[in-house]
Amino acid sequence: MPSATSPATPRTPLLERIESPADLRKLAPAELKPLADELRSFLIDSVSRTGGHLSSNLGTVELTIALHYVFNTPEDRIVWDVGHQTYAHKILTGRREAMAGLRQYHGISGFPRRCESPYDTFGTAHSSTSISAALGMAEAARLRGEDRRAIAVIGDGAMSAGMAFEALNNAGDIHDTNLLVILNDNEMSISPPVGALNKHLSRLLSGRIYNGARKIGKRFLENLPPPVFELAKRTEEHVKGMMMPGTLFEEFGFNYIGPIDGHDLDAILPTLQNLRTLKGPQFLHVITRKGQGYKLAEADPILYHGVSKFDHAAGIATGKDAKGGGKLTYTQVFGDWLCDMAAQDERLVAITPAMREGSGMVRFAREFPSRFYDVGIAEQHALTFGAGLACEGFRPVVAIYSTFLQRAYDQFIHDVALQNLPVMMAIDRAGLVGADGATHHGAFDLSYLACIPNLTLFCPADEDECRQMLYTAYHHNGPTAVRYPRGSGLGIAPQAAMHTLPIGKGEIRREGRRTALLAFGSLLAPALQVGDALDATVANMRFVKPIDRNLILDLAARHELLVTLEENAVIGGAGSEVARVLAEAGVPVRLIQMGLPDRFVDHGDQTQLMAEVGLDAAAICARIAQVYPQNS
């Protein structure tokens, strides 16, 4: 966190005059560059105090200013893809002071939320949804006869997902919709460096003179014989394609403009002003730099992508200077296991949908580059790609966040489970994830996975059990999923030696009386606390599918009350499986099912959230006392 010697909060006199985009539009154009400097300084200082996404937000400062300056927001709709780059947008739309509570309990979200502001026109946090949503908004305006614009701002990474191209394909087929797609290219992965020629061409190609001449020429050529018209059309496309990388988007039916420097307001403003007057689908390609204006983030945009509190003068401590927490995270446990397993078995291949760092695969990518596949933000493809590898005798391990696995549900059922292929899912961020909030909580995977035939579903309760379950899942001849939470475990060091666990078998961790707690995965720790407080039996269930039927019936025969505990939606989760077993056996034991409530849980510290949803030890004890007071 910031030290006592950290620089004081920067002075931002221009920024402090802005409470809404209407105030921004009162500024003279010459004041926008100083405003961008103030806004960037404010962002660095603010995010260093709260934590959050930094590099991506520093890269969109000028673009954000230009959009709100040129367009009549919120009447004109802006949809930010993913939304982790919207801090400048939040600040300019009346939430400057609220940034002190960014991503904190009862504070503002790190992503756009419709309930938070009318300027957040669409809630986003998963990628590649912006073009579809903005197209819907543009069509709504056309159907109502309203003269307003819809703008989708999408990063080059999000453009790797199929949904973005599905939307482009649809938009190009609706020729008279007023949709502007802005590609925020911040990795230089598509275009050559930006220069004066590109800036000049962008102004020219977005201007009325060029587009008017283009339309007149098209009408003239349409009267010529078809072969001549087709030749002229192809000639224009090829000449334009030689000068800029927009032929692909032109083929989708968009008028492509760019690339332009996304940090040059003198280029962005007139281009957007021209585009605002044009009809039909428009595509603007801007080049930005992650971490722009903060040298440490420019040098290492990945390190500064998502940050905890830090001293922005000194920068984030790394290597020997970094403070270790002592406990391994589950992500680290997975990353170490992956490398150890790959060293033993050459059939292992690892797949990630653009989450190499987040899923703990950096070391594997370095040590086994020929067996590492980052497929981009393409969860559906990741699953079916793995299925294809499995068909040919490889053992694919797909590392994916619980919240992103939702996007590949059909592929898991149809392409993996139906064919009973040995594809292993390493599901990170299961349960409540903290500051990223409702869009990223892994709240549903037990519910939507337990119903899939052929699947074996593991729930490790500590670090060593996670390592052994990963080993067991890998060697199982069928689809498997190991789900583990965000953050560190209980401090139980994983054993170097690996062994298989008996599939579908839980274990008793504490013997008690009257009440038995059936804990799944991460909730074993609070269950043991409750067991000590109430002298209750505690079972580590380990598996949701196949569930340990014999253990459930044994506990039911010896106890008056069973309590299931899971960090998953209580509806359709592990507790429902326990209830099904009891019902099928005709056992009339009292049962309490405890899990995540039937609502979307907001963002905040994980400890605070667990207390809020009633899954910490104190809340579990209170619930048992309420339902079964004779055990309290």
Catalytic (active-site) positions: 290, 379, 407
Q: d(Cα 255, Cα 275) in Å, to the nearest integer?
A: 10
> Parallel, antiparallel, or unpaired: how do β-strands 348-352 and 395-401 relate?
parallel
DSSP 8-state assignment for residue 174: S
Paired with 59 in beta bridges are none
Q: At 10, list the tokens.
A: 């920067």
Q: d(Cα 170, Cα 583) in Å, to the nearest integer?
A: 49
Q: At 15, list the tokens.
A: 């920024």
Contacting residues for 153 by C-beta, under 8 A, at least 6 apart? 60, 63, 67, 78, 79, 80, 81, 85, 130, 182, 184
Note whether 198 and 244 are within 8 A (CB).
Answer: yes
Q: At 298, list the tokens.
A: 């420019």
Contacting residues for 367 by C-beta, under 8 A, at least 6 apart? 339, 342
Give the position of tokens 């069973």.
562
Q: d(Cα 117, Cα 280) in Å, to the nearest integer?
A: 28
Q: d(Cα 483, Cα 430) in Å, to the nearest integer?
A: 6
3-class state of residue 320 by DSSP:
helix
Burial class (CB in 10 A: 0-12, 13-18, 19+), 317: exposed
Note whether 512 and 541 are within 8 A (CB).
Answer: no
Q: At 206, list the tokens.
A: 């977005």
Q: d(Cα 431, Cα 440) in Å, to the nearest integer?
A: 9
Going by C-alpha positions, the residue among 174, 179, 139, 181 that lies closest to residue 278 is 179
Cα 627 to Cα 221, 506, 593, 617, distances in angstroms = 81, 26, 12, 16
- Indicate the Cα dihedral angle 533, 539, 540, 546, nearest 10°: -150
Q: At 196, list the tokens.
A: 């004066």
Burial class (CB in 10 A: 0-12, 13-18, 19+), 291: buried
Cα 626 to Cα 592, 619, 632, distances in angstroms = 11, 10, 9
Note whether 455 and 480 are within 8 A (CB).
Answer: yes
DSSP 8-state assignment for residue 19: S
Q: At 616, list the tokens.
A: 């910490």
3-class state of residue 313 by DSSP:
coil
